[in-house]
Amino acid sequence: MNEKTKDMLGLAARLILGGVFIYAGFLKTVAPAEEFAYAIEAYRVVPQGFALLSALTVPWLEIYLGVFLIAGLFGRLSAGLAGALLAGFAGLLLQALLRHLPITSCGCFGASKGNSPGYELFQNLLLLGLAALAFKYGKRISLDALLESHEKHE
Partner 1 sequence: MKVRKILRKLLMAAMLVFLSTLGTLLCRQFSIGPQRPSPAFRTFGPANARIRIYEFTDFACPACRTANAHMKDLLRVYKDSVRLNFKHYPLSTVHPWSFDAAASADCAGRQGKFTEYADLLFENQQNWAFAKEQPKEFLEYAKKLKLDLSAFEKCADEETTLRQIKLDIAEGDIKGVNSTPTFFVNGKRAVGAGQLLDLAKRFDNLLKELKN
Which parts of this chain interact with partner 1 (CB under 8 A)?
22, 25-27, 29-35, 38, 60, 63-64, 67-68, 71, 73-74, 110, 112, 143-144, 147, 151
Contact (CB, 8 A) for 85 and 33: no
Whether the CB-CB separation of 2 and 82 falls below 8 Å is answered with no
CB 100, min distance to partner 1, A: 20
Minimum gap (Å) between residue 84 Cβ and partner 1: 18
Shortest distance, position 73 Cβ to partner 1, whole Å: 6
Cβ proximity to partner 1, 84 vs 147, nearer residue: 147
- Cβ proximity to partner 1: between 33 and 130 the closer is 33
How far apart CA 139 and CA 147 sit, in angstroms, is 11
Query: How many Å separate Cα 56 from the centre of its chain?
Result: 16
Q: What is the DSSP letter of 140?
A: S
Q: Nearer Cβ to partner 1, position 15 or 87?
A: 15
Question: In angstroms, rounded to a whole number, what is the distance separating the alpha carbons of residues 111 and 105?
Answer: 6
Strand partners, 108: 110
Q: How far apart are CB 142 and partner 1 at their closest, in Å?
A: 11
